Amino acid sequence: MKELLINFYCPATSKSYDFWVPKTMQVTNVIEQICSAVCEYENQDNIFPKLDTLVLYSYLNRATLPANYSLEQVGVRSGDKLALM
């Protein structure tokens, strides 16, 4: 399987979203993709004013994910729950 189904919680909207993302995608790119999709879905452009300060948090590992690694490299698997903070 080349993609992972991940559940993302977004405190800015107080909602959770499910996304299919490539497991080889870098965390930085995942953040950008999620932000873009959430803004489009919520029909709001100003949900994330400072994109460069956002991080992904893993509930399983209880840690933020390093931005320059892929999801696969940091051990994210399908079904994992992450938070966009």
Range of the domain at 16: 3-84
* Mean pLDDT within 14-19: 96
Q: What is the pLDDT of residue 50?
A: 85
Of the candidates 62, 66, 77, 61, the one whose C-alpha atom is nearest the C-alpha of residue 27 is 66
Does residue 18 carry a pLDDT above 90?
Answer: yes
* Mean pLDDT within 32-44: 94
Which CATH number characterizes residue 31's domain? 3.10.20.90
DSSP 59: T
The Cα 4–Cα 22 span in angstroms is: 6
| pTM, 2 dp | 0.91
Tell me: the pLDDT tens digits for 39-77? Answer: 999 999 889 988 889 999 999 999 999 999 999 999 999
Q: What is the pLDDT of residue 46?
A: 86
- 31 class by beta-carbon count within 10 Å (0-12 exposed, 13-18 middle, 19+ buried): buried
The number of domains in the chain is 1
Neighbours of 63 (CB within 10 A): 12
DSSP 26: B
Q: What is the pLDDT of residue 45?
A: 87
